[in-house]
Chain A
Amino acid sequence: MTFYAFIFYVVAALIIATTALAITRRNLVHAVVYLIFSFLGSAMLFYLFGAPLLAALEVIIYAGAIMVLFLMIIMMVKVESPAERMYPLSQWLPAAGFGLIYLTVGALMVFATPGSEIPLEMALATPKEFALYVFRRHWLSIEVVSLLLLVALIGAFHLGKRKGGNEAEDEV
């Protein structure tokens, strides 16, 4: 086992552990903070797989912007966290069973596929190469994505606008 493989397994264990902790927390703030660690681990994986620009973007956008947005929403509204109840065990067990089947079949499929046991080679896509590639081959998609972000901005603004009238506004 090489040093890089060791790093990969440690980071993978970290990601799975923090995500599992995050999705079982009752307190939403704790869940979001655990998830920030999960996304930082993903950024480390991206760096290990030779995508430094994407690692930086993952930290800035996922762990930074999106999680801060979640934290702001959680702080903005009163959350009744103890009142939340899980589904009963009779609905739980089939879900767990199907999840286990999914995992087993997935693992079998992954290891039965030829070529999946060859270790990945180290490679690096520098930000310059990546940017040239994106803007030479995919400039139209970038424009479409910018349009999508504009639509999201307008939509979020419209939804967040308070309408004067009879709604229960004083709760927020």
Chain B
Amino acid sequence: MIVPFGHVLLLAGVLFLLGLFCAVARRNLIMMVLGVEIMLNAASIVFVAAALHWKQLEGQVFVLFILAVAATEVSVGLAMIVYAYRRTGSFDPGAYNLLQ
């Protein structure tokens, strides 16, 4: 007997909110990607807990795919950030105003 499923959902909701805050409020591209990682992690916590709640392994399988997608997203995202840094010399998303 662990805790009710609702408490896990609440924990993941708070974690998702923190990640969303990080992705929206920080003005640094690296911190924004970190925020997306936190949100993906919150989603995987819910998937594992749901797999336990309904006694289905599908949730755990999905977490495997979330791990792969997170690794992909981080590698391509960081490569794009380094590329943008080479062109503009800044991590501030407000600095990318070439079209103004």
How many B residues are at the interface, by size bracket?
Answer: 35 or more
Chain B residues lying within 8 Å of A20, measured Cβ to Cβ, are: 18
A2-B2, A84-B27, A159-B76 known; A77 and B85 CB under 8 Å? Answer: yes
A42-B41, A120-B3, A145-B65 known; A65 and B71 CB under 8 Å? Answer: yes
Chain A residues lying within 8 Å of B27, measured Cβ to Cβ, are: 84-87
Partner of B74, one of A15, A66, A87, A125: A66
Partner of A117, one of B6, B15, B55, B90: B6
Asked if residues A54 and B53 are in contact (CB atoms below 8 Å), the reply is no
Chain A residues lying within 8 Å of B3, measured Cβ to Cβ, are: 4-5, 8-9, 119-120
| Residue on B nearest A4 in the bound complex, by CB | B2
B contact face: mostly helix, strand, loop, or mixed: helix
A contact face: mostly helix, strand, loop, or mixed: helix
Asked if residues B4 and A49 are in contact (CB atoms below 8 Å), the reply is no
Nearest chain B CB to A76's CB is how many angstroms away? 7
Asked if residues A159 and B9 are in contact (CB atoms below 8 Å), the reply is no
Partner of B79, one of A12, A19, A159: A159
Please report B residues at the A interface, Cβ cutoff 8 Å. Answer: 1-11, 13-15, 17-22, 24-28, 30-31, 33-35, 37-38, 41, 44-45, 48-49, 51-53, 55, 57, 60-61, 63-65, 67-72, 74-76, 78-83, 85-87, 89-92
